[in-house]
Amino acid sequence: MGLGVIVPAILLIFLRRKIWAVATAGALIAITFLVVRLNVVIPGLAIPELPGLEAAFTGPGLTTHYIPSINEWLVFVWAVGLAALIFLIGRRILPIIHTER
């Protein structure tokens, strides 16, 4: 977390006008994003699938047809709103491109 979140935040807060600091922060964030994805994918592929597992469990709730509930849609809307809020706050606090107000 430190290398992908804290270090880029420190770079962007204190050295936001230096192009190398912005590039380094972006690279660290991108690398962290990829490593986290690999951390999720690789352990799942390390254990082979058990033969007969797909027929071991049966029932009406175990189906491939899925429709998200209203609560799941609300969580999605909340997450998008939170991301937009963080973006707008960051845009105001860390002005990388100078604009006239």
Query: How far is it, in rounded angstroms, from Cα 26 to Cα 30?
Result: 6
pTM of the complete model: 0.48
* pLDDT reading at 101 higher than 70: no
Chain Cα centroid distance, residue 52: 34
Nearest in space to 26 (alpha carbons), one of 16, 36, 14: 16
HSE-up (13 A, CA, CB side) for residue 57: 7
Calculate mean pLDDT across residues 28-43. 90
Q: How does pLDDT run across 81-100, given as a tens digit for each residue? A: 999 999 999 888 887 766 66
Query: How far is it, in rounded angstroms, from Cα 27 to Cα 33?
Result: 10
The residue ranking higher by pLDDT, 46 or 98, is 46
